[in-house]
């Protein structure tokens, strides 16, 4: 099992090294905390690395040192679990940048406080930019907020990675409070209606026209009632109920046993109750298009795990 708050980084000659990434809202860090970072990295022979989420990762660590490192840092891990709001990327905005049109720091920090680590159908990343230069990459984030001369524009569905998608413009010219309200509506709508899929994939499946109409209808009404689900739901509200003999995107059907060749995306669609088992093995990227398209054998190899142990654990719950 993975050490708490750590990610497996590499396996070399049977030796495993891990990385930890403390949460730094907006990428801001005080000098004393930065010194503590450096002291801990040096003490435990780690390497400090800036990440694209405006954080500082310490990698090259041993499993037996992880708990003590967290204690010495006195900080919290950036990641809670795979399918949650992972980060809110913030540009300097009007506070520190001569080009800033809006205060991206105030808004971004509030969004971080409200949504960081909040559970979602899949992984989610936010971005807040103070002007159209979009230094925080609004167009490739699940929810992006861009400042203009007259207010804030809202973008949805962007992502980078192996399956890039540019975000769709949802609405323009909002004030601070309206941004917080529409983000809440987007989140509720996505949580209620999506399968295990990024919000861009969800939009492509249901159509942007419907997504936009439903979200804006709730926004203009000033209510947060959820709409009728667009996909079959379990009693818990989000998991698809498998139908005996029904095909998923792949070849696995309800009633089949899981094997080393089963594809992760097929497994979680047919048997959503396996998600906690994947997480217990530290295989958290269930919403990642690349990871979910892999066979269990390949994923186990990447994570340095015993695939037969994983298969046994999964088959126990189906």
Query: What CATH number should be reported for the domain holding residue 311?
Result: 1.10.3910.10
**Whether 81 contacts 62, CB under 8 Å:** no
Report whether pLDDT(237) > 90.
Answer: no
The pLDDT of 109-120, averaged and rounded, is 95
Per-residue confidence (pLDDT) for residue 248, from 0 to 100: 37
- In this structure, is residue 164 part of a structural domain? yes
Measured CA to CA, the distance from residue 104 to residue 27 in angstroms comes to 13
Lowest mean pLDDT among 18-22, 29-33, 177-181, 266-270: 266-270
In a domain, 95, yes or no: yes
- Assess whether 172 and 291 both reside in one domain: no
pTM above 0.85, yes or no: no
Same domain, 89 and 187: yes
Taking 80 as the threshold, does the pLDDT of residue 227 lie above it? no
In a domain, 228, yes or no: no
216 and 94 together in one domain: yes
Tens digit of each residue's pLDDT (9 = 90 or more) over 161-212: 888 999 999 999 999 999 999 999 999 999 999 988 999 999 999 999 999 9
**Same domain, yes or no, for 52 and 129?**
no
Q: Do 210 and 172 belong to one domain?
A: yes
User: Both 95 and 189 in a single domain?
Assistant: yes
* Both tokens assigned to 199: 């919000």
Task: Supply the CATH number for residue 66's domain.
Answer: 3.30.70.3340
How many Å apart are CA 103 and CA 93, to the nearest integer? Answer: 5
Indicate the number of domains in the chain: 3
- Indicate if 69 and 90 belong to the same structural domain: no
Q: Is 229 part of any domain?
A: no
pLDDT digits (tens, 9 = 90+) for 80-112: 667 899 999 999 999 999 889 999 999 999 999
Q: Which of 48, 73, 98 is the last residue of a domain?
A: 73
Residue 234 lies in a domain: no
Structure tokens at 145: 């907020």
Claim to verify: residue 157 and residue 105 sit in the same structural domain: yes
Strand pairing partners for 142? none
Domain residues for the domain of 20 are 7-73
């Amino acid at each position: 099992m993975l050490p708490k708050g750590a990610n497996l980084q590499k396996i070399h000659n049977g030796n495993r090294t891990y990385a930890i990434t403390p949460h730094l809202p907006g990428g801001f860090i005080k000098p004393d905390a930065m010194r503590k970072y450096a002291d801990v990295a040096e003490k435990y022979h780690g390497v400090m690395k800036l990440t694209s989420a405006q954080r500082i990762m310490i990698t090259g660590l041993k499993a037996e040192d992880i708990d003590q490192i967290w204690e010495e840092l006195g900080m919290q891990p950036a990641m809670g679990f795979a399918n949650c709001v992972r980060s809110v990327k913030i540009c300097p905005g009007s506070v520190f940048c001569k080009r800033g049109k809006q205060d991206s720091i105030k808004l971004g920090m509030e969004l971080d406080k409200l949504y960081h680590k909040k559970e979602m159908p899949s992984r989610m990343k936010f971005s807040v930019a103070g002007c159209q230069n979009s230094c925080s990459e609004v167009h490739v984030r699940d929810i992006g907020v861009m400042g203009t001369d007259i207010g804030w524009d809202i973008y949805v569905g962007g992502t980078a990675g192996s399956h890039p998608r540019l975000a769709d413009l949802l609405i323009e010219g909002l004030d601070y409070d309206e941004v917080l309200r529409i983000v809440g509506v987007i989140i509720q709508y996505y949580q209620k209606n999506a399968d295990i899929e990024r919000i861009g994939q969800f939009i492509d499946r249901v159509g942007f026209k419907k997504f936009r109409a439903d979200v804006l209808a709730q926004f203009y009404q000033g209510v947060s009632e959820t709409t009728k689900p667009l996909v079959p739901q379990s009693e818990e509200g989000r998991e698809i109920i498998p139908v005996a003999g029904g095909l998923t995107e792949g070849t696995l059907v309800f009633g089949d046993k899981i094997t080393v060749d089963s594809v992760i995306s097929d497994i979680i669609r047919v048997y959503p109750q396996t998600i906690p088992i994947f997480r217990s093995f530290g295989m958290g990227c269930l919403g990642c298009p690349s990871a979910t398209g892999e066979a269990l054998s390949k994923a186990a190899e990447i994570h340095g795990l015993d695939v037969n142990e994983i298969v046994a654990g999964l088959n126990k719950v189906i």
